[in-house]
Amino acid sequence: MAVSLAQLSAASAGPAPTENTSPTFLSIGDSLMWGQGLNPNHRFRELVRARIEREHGVVAELAMARSGAVMKLKDAEEYLDDDFHEGLISPGKSLSLWYSPENFAREMPYSAMSIQRQLKTAQELIQQHWGKEALQGIRWILLDGGINDIEIFNILTPFRAELDGYTLRCWSTWLLDQAVRIEDLMFETLDIALDSFPAAAVIVNGYFPVFSLYSVASVTKLQSVGLLYGIANLVLTSPFGLDALANASTAWQAASTHHLRRAIQRVLQVPKHAGRTVLFARSNIEGPHSLFGPSTWLWGYDAIPDGVPENVGQWTQWLSGATPEDEVIPQRINQCNANEPDFAAGIICRLASIGHPNVAGAIDYAEAIVDVMEQAGLLRSEDSACMVAARRRLAACRQAIDEGNYRCFRLDARACRACSEATNTIAGAAEGLIRDGAGRFGDAAKNFEDAAECFGDTPSEMARAAVGQFSAASDNFAEAGEHFSDTLDCWEDTQDSFQNCDDEKASKIAECNREYERRVNTNCNIQCNSFTNCNHYSRFDPRRYACRAARAVCVAAAAIARGACIAVSVAMREACKVAAEAAAVVCKGAEVVENTGCTLSEGAQGIWEGIKGVGHSLAGAGAALGAFGSNLGCALGNAAKGLGNAILGAGEILLGGAVGLGALGFYIGCSATRWVLTRSCRIINWAFGAGCRLGNAALSVPCQIGNAIGRPMLRLRR
């Protein structure tokens, strides 16, 4: 076999499967299921396994989950799954260091092996070790997935939403749209699970909001997240950004919960799966239990170095006040240092526990899973029948609250789209009016050109004067039209200008990194090159030990100097990056100022040219009257048309400007209304939930009193 039973068992804290004892418990999924940052005996899957064992005897687990796993890799990436699959299944293949259950290698985030491939590989492993009949022996499957298919950074940052055309205010809308994909992926995954293991009950775990408004209390830690993960300052340094971050996290919870439940409903409606058991376990990690909350159930930072920093990434973490606080830091750091030498990837790997359930969070998940198993009859309840009914009612309340929150976010999404579409429509109308007004000035220029031509055959002095004035008016109105058209063009290249600023920033940051690497590899390469031949003295010679003592002092001094030099270099590099960021902000600000100035300048020139055109047109009309003749009607008629077009053009431009300002005001007002509407919806839903819980508590009181009275009486009867 390419992989031994001992290796497979290293991922579980429970009893190991043996050649005579096949596994009955299967865990499939991502870092949540793996138990990121937890000692094996604290993982929620181990707590659930132990609870099942109390009722059903020995339960051997086959654990397949790993950090970073997606439900399904893209077609172009399937070779990654194949590599891991062959290491587990094919004889003669070695097990990948990235997937080995030993030494906590699965703590390192990596998308393969995918969750669907974990199921297929588990099926093949069981068949190989224990035969096809052993597939019937898998009675319980814990399964999760979906967050890595959306990518956690898209829940923590609005960058991808912005690239897809959603503004920061519509970030949660983007998450709701993306969460739809999870439903189909989970449906496929559950279909594979039920087909592969025909006697198993499947419990699907839900996700939780990483951040909430309670997280704002630790804004310094939030900003260290921004520094280390490159999250936009806008998100983590402004009240609006923090509100958007908390709202996006809650939107993710609501959307993922809704679509995971729908996937379960859909798969159970497939005829071949009739009668099967698939359950959903909802986490209670939210509000004050979110990251950095006052009663957090998630791993965060403790700002205490886990030993002397050994490389640049660890120095950066330490200087940022961001060091992990989980239970398996040394094991994960060893794996990350060995397999993730890249600076940025190394930091993410070492800090991979952040935002995952800690010991208290794992207990919450275990209780949620056991609760749904008891309600479904998979486990005997240790409570009375009336208390089981109370828990069932409470679960119904929570599901109703979840669906209500999801509807609130869908309402918010529709309102966001309506605001954006209406604003774009109004702004488009403003642009159309301004362009039409500019076109009117062009028409006026043509009218005055025609008026000048009316006197082409008239030799009088006044006629020539009229021709000159009308020609000048034509030029003025033509230039006015061009200037007003250019007011819109001033802003059309803003995005390209911003990209140039970002490119310049990236170039400067790259230079910061290169200079940092140069300093670390030269100036900071401080070594102790003295006292290297202490063994030259015999072991009875005191000089040998004096030499060794001096050597130890020298090495320690070199290490301190090297560490200080690296710390200074890190600080210099970060200062260099801050300067690059500041330069980019100044660059973009300059572009805004320049484009605003361009707009005002072009508009002012257009107004001036229009005023001059009116003056020339009036002077031309006076000269035409002085050159009274058969051409007078032709000239004045065209001049009147020209003035009419100029007046209409000016009116359209003024109206377009007013409509443009109105579009801005509308968007601000619409967004504020949307915020109030969404929050009101959630408050109403919260009130409903509070009433539902209160009613459930009232119904449960007689049961609790009966239990308190009945149990002592039973003991007396004995």
Instruction: Kindly report the three-state secondary structure assignment for every residue of 509-567.
Output: HHHHHHHHHHHHHCCCCCCCCCCCCHHHCCCCCHHHHHHHHHHHHHHHHHHHHHHHHHH
End-to-end CA distance of the chain: 58
Looking at the whole model, is its pTM more than 0.75?
no
Q: How many CB atoms lie within 10 A of CB 355?
A: 24
Cα separations in angstroms, 466 against 165, 455, 458, 631, 638 = 54, 8, 11, 11, 12
The DSSP bridge partners found for residue 357 are: 298
Region class of 37: left (phi > 0), else alpha (psi between -120 and 50), else beta: left
Contact 278, 202 (CB under 8 A): yes
Q: How many CB atoms lie within 10 A of CB 514?
A: 11
Q: How many CB atoms lie within 10 A of CB 54?
A: 11
Three-state DSSP at 354 gives: coil
> Whose CA is closest to 104, among 321, 348, 350, 269?
350
Helices and strands of the chain, counted as H and E runs: 21, 5
Contact 439, 649 (CB under 8 A): yes
Contact 22, 130 (CB under 8 A): yes
Give phi and psi for 386, each to the nearest 5. -70, -30
The DSSP bridge partners found for residue 28 are: 143
Cα separations in angstroms, 142 against 27, 350, 378, 666 = 5, 26, 13, 49
Q: How far is CA 133 from the centre of its chain?
A: 43
Contacts of residue 626, Cβ cutoff 8 Å, sequence gap at least 6: 462, 465, 466
> Whose CA is closest to 618, among 479, 451, 411?
451
30: buried, middle or exposed (CB in 10 Å: 19+, 13-18, 0-12)? buried
Identify the helix (H) or strand (E) that includes residue 142.
strand 140-143
Directed axis angle between helix 78-89 and helix 115-130, to 10°? 20
Rg (CA), the chain: 36
Cα separations in angstroms, 586 against 510, 581, 591 = 19, 9, 8
Token pair listed for 366: 């275990």
Contact 103, 70 (CB under 8 A): no
> Whose CA is closest to 653, among 474, 428, 440?
440
Token pair listed for 362: 């794992």
2: buried, middle or exposed (CB in 10 Å: 19+, 13-18, 0-12)? middle
Q: Which residue blocks in 90-170 are alpha helix, DSSP H?
A: 115-130, 147-150, 152-156, 159-163
Length of the chain equals: 718
The DSSP bridge partners found for residue 141 are: 26, 202
Three-state DSSP at 620 gives: helix
The DSSP bridge partners found for residue 301 are: 324
Contacts of residue 619, Cβ cutoff 8 Å, sequence gap at least 6: 469
Q: What is the pLDDT of residues 134-155, one digit of tens each?
A: 999 999 999 999 888 876 655 5
Q: How many CB atoms lie within 10 A of CB 368?
A: 23
Sheet holding 278-281, edge to edge: 61-63, 25-28, 140-143, 201-205, 278-281
Residue indicated by tokens 């906590």: 104
The DSSP bridge partners found for residue 143 are: 28, 204
Supply the pLDDT for residue 496.
62
Domains of the chain: 5-382 (3.40.50.1110)
d(CA 450, CA 634): 9
Contact 492, 612 (CB under 8 A): no
Q: Before 387, cis peptide (omega within 30)?
A: no
User: What's the longest Cα–Cα distance across the chain?
Assistant: 133
- Which of the residues in the chain have pLDDT under 50? 1, 160-166, 168, 223, 226-238, 317-321, 711-718
Cα separations in angstroms, 125 against 1, 22, 97, 100 = 10, 11, 19, 15
Beta-strand pair 278-281/140-143: unpaired
> Whose CA is closest to 254, among 175, 188, 189, 187?
175
d(CA 371, CA 206): 14
Q: How many CB atoms lie within 10 A of CB 417?
A: 13
Q: Which residue blocks in 376-384 are alpha helix, DSSP H?
A: none
Supply the pLDDT for residue 232.
43
Q: How far is CA 136 from the centre of its chain?
A: 40
Q: Read off the DSSP letter of residue 457.
A: T
Supply the pLDDT for residue 642.
66
Q: Which residue blocks in 142-238 are alpha helix, DSSP H?
A: 147-150, 152-156, 159-163, 171-196, 219-229, 233-237
d(CA 345, CA 507): 20
Supply the pLDDT for residue 367.
92
Supply the pLDDT for residue 477.
66
Supply the pLDDT for residue 51.
93
Residue indicated by tokens 């951040």: 211
Supply the pLDDT for residue 429.
76
Supply the pLDDT for residue 582.
66
Identify the helix (H) or strand (E) that includes residue 331.
helix 329-339
Supply the pLDDT for residue 583.
73
Q: Read off the DSSP letter of residue 456.
A: T
Contacts of residue 517, Cβ cutoff 8 Å, sequence gap at least 6: none
Identify the helix (H) or strand (E) that includes residue 140.
strand 140-143
